[in-house]
Structure 1
């Protein structure tokens, strides 16, 4: 049985061939051109002898040819596994040896990094050099039968999307086509009334945020504007040209817009910001809404649930106003939430803080325990309190990094902060912090230590605070805890 999501994509390609499809660097490709390019991808795979049993590895960028190739893979029912293009060549090679794909789709520059390992593992290459050029086939697919028999099928996973990689190496999350309907519904602004005239995406296609926007566009024919990365001038220019009524942004993008130098009238078409992926400081939200007059509707999702599970909507905001300040909203329709004791697993009463458990029958038939610490008020509004897996045990005292981050972010000079634990021979672990300053602001590590000491117990004061030009981030713009930790480990080794 062909899933409705795939049928929707095929219908868009067939009935909206002349309509705007994907814009990249100011040039539009119609849905017809997108579909034709996807057909060329399938033709190249067939010419390579790429078995339908095997997966396709895809080093995917936010570019028109890449989005069109993904559309073709889905329309032709090929299973794709994403690889982050920012990964080091040695990491790409290790991943490809583990995946054993029948083919690798890569941009011309990325192909140079993986051509040797492709020959080693018997994977054909499909090389992309823009949507206006036919994909180039390199080599033949020669993957052993036993590898093919053990591979994920399209029904198992239409795509394998990558988690954010905030705390370590990104995890592969299989998403069957039947689940991608949920991704489309999780796209920012999906619950607003009426069709979206255009979507502007800065989220990487390799992650669930970018996949949600892509899925929503491909399944409904909504024009999609792709940006390689978030740049305030480029983003504002896209908004001025396309006049979208809503936007999907990360906390970093919200902060960069708040601190950017442009006329607030440039965002006059925007009636709402639908954001997620990480914590948004309520003070930043207040400042943004006051400066631009645009309400922010924050949300929380997870790759494992294929998108958003908790969100704000305009109707909710109209009902409760600012009385739930700091909340990430309520559960989406069809999703149930509860809070459990971190240590015993006992279900906790309303209002108490514990680990969040989620029942999402579209994804799994059972309750799933997350690592997010939350409290749910009597009206069902969820307040995020940190992560249980990020707790630092310092001399027997449990420390939640989010508490330190919250205090550091409240300092007038700090734009953002990240806190990790480092091993300590005497105490077991100690917190350290890296901070990013607001434009034109100054402070010192000593001043910041005193600032934390005045707000929290002594055990929470970081043993080191480093001021950096910019926090290292994942492709989804979350602070990369692994790379933050490396900043301190590298300094200690020097």
Structure 2
């Protein structure tokens, strides 16, 4: 089944039409389709039929983007293998998934990965480098395992790693139909008859948000500007090249643009910004909109529904924008939301906090329970209150990390803050907060501890503050909790400006 008619049309553009920008290079649709044809020829020659899934050890670069588009054009199921993990983790995924073939950069075909593919009977396909569209079969990984040859063909789907919204991160198979719905939600602000400019894809296309950014840009604008990560200057350069009318942004980016006082002219092409993947403080949204004159429409979604569940729209912003600050908007058409008691599963009264559940017609009749704490008010607006699975249990006291981080960000010298729990032999867990000072500002752990004592209950005051040059984040710009927890417990591996032992 085709993912989306608009995507089909985009992939059928004339040969000389532009498909992908990447680090100063560009590739036409002739090149992208040629890569796909070469890939499918290799798979056919090795006995990998069209219905057998293949894996992509996926990075934001042209060969992996072209491999993904080839799978979509051929209605072939594909599994995205996450690269933001150890080399051993990649090899373990190749072994565990047991796919008919795996496409990866030459640099990712380590001895561990080759051994894993050999054990799984997996055809190994190597891409020469990150920019060019050349591929070859790995010597010794050129024979399809007998177990694959007897497998039944599967319908088109893309399997991606979830963000953990409904529990521990896991591989989620997303059907073509659900992806079509996700791409449709990206077009809600398009103006009929007005061509859409290509967009930027800067979060990993191996996860759901990056994948929808990437496919959405192709489906709506006909091509895409790929970035391997968000770095302000390269991102702004890409913005100059593409001049898109709408963009996806995340809260840390908006903070950074305001703090660096990026000139208004750099955003001259934009008429709207969409965002999500975490809360955006109302005052930050107001400051951005006032400085740049561009409205922000925040939303909420998760991997299991492959797209947006709730969002603001221009009409909602006009009617409720001044009274629903901090909300993620209302449920979009085709989605139902409710908030339930985590113990009983009963729906809680309007305005009260509980676990968020979603039901999406295209996904199925069941309610999908998330680990997000939320409230829905009398006007059906969704307010996120944090993550239940990240709550810190300090000797029986439950502490929401978001409450600590929000309080720390009220300090006049703090730009960004992330709170989390670390193990403690006596109390089970204790809270820690990492802070990133404003450029040029100086702040000590003692100052932050003293400030937080005026804002939080005694049991919620962190036992330690990490004052960091920069808070580490994943490719999707979410806080990198494993690195932060490692820094808190080992005091190594990150640019910590100052750390001391705080006392509560």
TM-score, scaled relative to structure 2: 0.90
- In structure 2, relative to structure 1, the CA distance for the partners of 1:247 and 1:218 (3 Å cut) is closer
- In structure 2, relative to structure 1, the CA distance for the partners of 1:231 and 1:359 (3 Å cut) is same
Q: 2:276 matched to 1:276?
A: yes
TM-fit CA distance, 1:483: 2.4
- In structure 2, relative to structure 1, the CA distance for the partners of 1:425 and 1:147 (3 Å cut) is farther
Task: Within 5 Å, give how 1:355-370 maps onto structure 2.
Answer: 355-370=355-370
Aligned partners of 2:46 and 2:143 also within 8 Å: no
Secondary structure in 2 matching 1:410: coil
Which of 5, 11, 14 aligns to 2:12? It is 14
Aligned position for 1:412: 412
Aligned partners of 1:394 and 1:429 also within 8 Å: yes
TM-fit CA distance, 1:57: 1.8
Secondary structure in 1 matching 2:454: helix
Name the CA distance, whole Å, in 1 between partners of 2:309 and 2:165. 19
Aligned partners of 2:339 and 2:357 also within 8 Å: yes
Q: 2:38 matched to 1:56?
A: no
Aligned position for 1:383: 383
TM-fit CA distance, 1:20: 2.5
Aligned residues, how many?
488
Aligned position for 1:32: 30
Superposed CA offset, 1:287-316 (max 9, x none): 222222222111111011101111112222
- In structure 2, relative to structure 1, the CA distance for the partners of 1:28 and 1:46 (3 Å cut) is same
Task: Within 5 Å, give how 1:91-490 maps onto structure 2.
Answer: 91-112=89-110, 114-129=113-128, 132-139=132-139, 140-146=141-147, 154-155=154-155, 158-164=157-163, 170-187=169-186, 190-194=188-192, 195-220=195-220, 222-260=222-260, 262-490=262-490
TM-fit CA distance, 1:170: 4.2
- In structure 2, relative to structure 1, the CA distance for the partners of 1:318 and 1:402 (3 Å cut) is same
Name the CA distance, whole Å, in 2 between partners of 1:143 and 1:355. 46
Name the CA distance, whole Å, in 1 between partners of 2:73 and 2:41. 13
Name the CA distance, whole Å, in 2 between partners of 1:49 and 1:26. 37
- In structure 2, relative to structure 1, the CA distance for the partners of 1:64 and 1:58 (3 Å cut) is same
TM-fit CA distance, 1:365: 1.5
Name the CA distance, whole Å, in 1 between partners of 2:226 and 2:413. 33
Aligned position for 1:79: 77
Name the CA distance, whole Å, in 2 between partners of 1:89 and 1:39. 29
- In structure 2, relative to structure 1, the CA distance for the partners of 1:180 and 1:141 (3 Å cut) is farther
Aligned partners of 2:62 and 2:132 also within 8 Å: no
Structure 1, unaligned stretches of length 5 or more? none
Aligned position for 1:69: 67
* RMSD value, Cα: 2.5
Q: 2:81 matched to 1:88?
A: no
TM-fit CA distance, 1:259: 2.4
Aligned partners of 1:183 and 1:215 also within 8 Å: no
- In structure 2, relative to structure 1, the CA distance for the partners of 1:437 and 1:47 (3 Å cut) is farther
Superposed CA offset, 1:441-476 (max 9, x none): 211111111222111211110111111222222221
TM-fit CA distance, 1:141: 4.7
Name the CA distance, whole Å, in 2 between partners of 1:443 and 1:484. 19
Name the CA distance, whole Å, in 2 between partners of 1:415 and 1:16. 47
Superposed CA offset, 1:62-105 (max 9, x none): 11222111100121122221122232111111111101122121
TM-fit CA distance, 1:403: 0.9
Secondary structure in 2 matching 1:327: coil
Secondary structure in 1 matching 2:254: helix
Structure 2, unaligned stretches of length 5 or more? 493-504
Name the CA distance, whole Å, in 1 between partners of 2:400 and 2:149. 45
TM-fit CA distance, 1:326: 0.7
Aligned partners of 1:81 and 1:159 also within 8 Å: yes
TM-fit CA distance, 1:330: 0.8
Name the CA distance, whole Å, in 2 between partners of 1:107 and 1:123. 16
TM-score, scaled relative to structure 1: 0.92
Secondary structure in 2 matching 1:105: strand
Aligned partners of 2:272 and 2:295 also within 8 Å: yes
Name the CA distance, whole Å, in 1 between partners of 2:253 and 2:369. 29
Name the CA distance, whole Å, in 2 between partners of 1:119 and 1:359. 41
Name the CA distance, whole Å, in 2 between partners of 1:39 and 1:190. 33
- In structure 2, relative to structure 1, the CA distance for the partners of 1:169 and 1:49 (3 Å cut) is farther
TM-fit CA distance, 1:274: 0.6
Aligned partners of 1:71 and 1:218 also within 8 Å: no
Name the CA distance, whole Å, in 2 between partners of 1:456 and 1:142. 62
Aligned partners of 2:445 and 2:467 also within 8 Å: yes
Name the CA distance, whole Å, in 2 between partners of 1:277 and 1:463. 28
- In structure 2, relative to structure 1, the CA distance for the partners of 1:221 and 1:43 (3 Å cut) is farther
Superposed CA offset, 1:236-259 (max 9, x none): 122222221111112222222222
Aligned partners of 2:167 and 2:371 also within 8 Å: no
- In structure 2, relative to structure 1, the CA distance for the partners of 1:236 and 1:248 (3 Å cut) is same
Name the CA distance, whole Å, in 2 between partners of 1:237 and 1:461. 42
Secondary structure in 1 matching 2:409: helix
TM-fit CA distance, 1:410: 1.9
